[in-house]
Amino acid sequence: MADAEIGVIGGSGFYSFLDDVTEITVDTPYGPPSDSLFLGEIAGRSVAFLPRHGRGHHLPPHRINYRANMWALRSLGVRQVLGPCAVGGLRPEYGPGTLLVPDQVVDRTKGRVQTYFDGVPLPDGSVPNVVHLTFADPYCPTGRRAALAAAGGRDWEPVDGGTLVVIEGPRFSTRAESRWHAAQGWSVVGMTGHPEAALARELSLCYTSLTLVTDLDAGTETGDGVSHEEVLKVFGQNIGRLREVLFDTVAALPGSTTRDCLCTDAHQGWDLGIELP
Ligand SMILES: [Zn+2]
């Protein structure tokens, strides 16, 4: 019997999700995840919440053990993951408070481990084979539909689709970098969307990104640029309704055994060389 079927990974400013929870620690072949996992229930669905940066926000984006986080969720039985995160808007019309559900991601991180299949033996002696998975559509279409419908149902007109560019951080972008990102036609910028989605695909997990715009990025405005205080302030103003949207999304997701999206068949016959949890 699985402990949870749906995972929610909370980002900056989002350190707890459910009121009535059971806290458990999970270890993985890749080390410990960012924090304990908090198990609870929404509309009869079992949910595991994990604060991405740790509950005291002690982990910067480049120090998060993304592999451990996704592995821990899967080992609890999770098959569908919702990943809310704070982002900067790259277009004037995507101001603070905008909820954008991206359909594409661009990786501008540096040196993050982004695969389970790197040929390094696991503690049990098994060695993952090398695999190259299809990632043309990085997000779960079913999860995206559920998130968009949930936001609409809460009178929050979400942006359907767009490109999330993920930078290494922890600093914010320069004006030149920001203008360049916008000129590419990308929509929002964040620091944690990669490699989370890529690792989810390797574990055949459905992954849906919900990005909350907390600021206009440096190239989009003429002020002093982005500050961490501003990000947390705007996130705090919106966390109540983001939580409601996540609740409604969880309730609308299909059961783990009735998924019929591309994520479930991600491996398409690849010999993984390891047993997924
Ligand atoms: Zn899916």
Condensed to tens digits (0 to 9), the pLDDT of residues 49-79 reads 999 999 888 899 999 999 999 999 999 999 9
**pLDDT reading at 160 higher than 60:** yes
Q: Confirm if 210 and 242 have CB atoms less than 8 A apart.
A: yes
Between the CA of 221 and the centroid of ligand 1 the distance, in Å, is 36
Distance 76 CA to ligand 1 centre (A): 18
DSSP string, 123-139: TTS--PPP-----SS-S
Sequence-separated contacts (24+) of 70-73 with Cβ below 8 Å: 70/196, 70/199, 70/200, 70/203, 70/205, 71/28, 71/29, 71/30, 71/33, 71/116, 71/203, 71/277, 72/26, 72/27, 72/28, 72/33, 72/37, 73/4, 73/7, 73/9, 73/37, 73/48, 73/205
pLDDT digits (tens, 9 = 90+) for 77-130: 999 999 999 999 999 999 999 999 999 999 999 989 999 998 889 988 999 999
Enzyme catalytic residues: 215, 217
Q: What's the gap in Å between 142 CA and the centre of ligand 1? A: 6
Quote the ligand 1 centre to 225 CA distance (angstroms): 36
Buried b / exposed e over 213-245, threshold 16 CB at 10 Å, is bbbbbbbbbeeebbeeeebeebbeebbebbbeb
